[in-house]
Amino acid sequence: AQSVSQHNHHVILSEAASLELGCNYSYGGTVNLFWYVQYPGQHLQLLLKYFSGDPLVKGIKGFEAEFIKSKFSFNLRKPSVQWSDTAEYFCAVNPLSNSGYALNFGKGTSLLVTP
């Protein structure tokens, strides 16, 4: 079945550590790719998105993600995390080859940043 996989379910990092969260998808053809973040007690917010062009995209709060088409991956990175980055992170794919418009989400990665 077509899916979105986030490999790390729970990640614990110390402040200033580097972060990389994996996301792989199994849809063929053209895709729109997203990372959403959900801070504790808050709603889903868009972190960054890839539609076309430069495969390295930059988002808010120093996050970036790289689209590697050959690997069907869209990994999220941040060079130095802060305590305020503690949140749940969701990778989402809109497979444009389908007739639907739904976002297909990964299961999410819970990030805890310790002081």
* Cα distance between residue 72 and residue 70, in whole Å: 6
Q: Which of 32, 73, 86, 110 binds another protein (CB under 8 A)?
A: 32
Give the C-alpha distances (Å, rounded to integers) separating 89 from 29, 70, 106: 24, 23, 9
Binding status of residue 54 toward another protein by CB under 8 A: no
Taking the complex as a whole, the smallest distance from the CB of residue 67 to another protein amounts, in Å, to 14
User: Please, which of residues 56-95 interact with another protein by CB under 8 A?
Assistant: 90, 92, 94
* Cα distance between residue 42 and residue 76, in whole Å: 20
Find where tokens 């989402």 sit: 92
Q: For binding to another protein (CB under 8 A), which residues are involved?
A: 30, 32, 34, 36, 42-46, 49, 51-52, 90, 92, 94, 96, 99-108
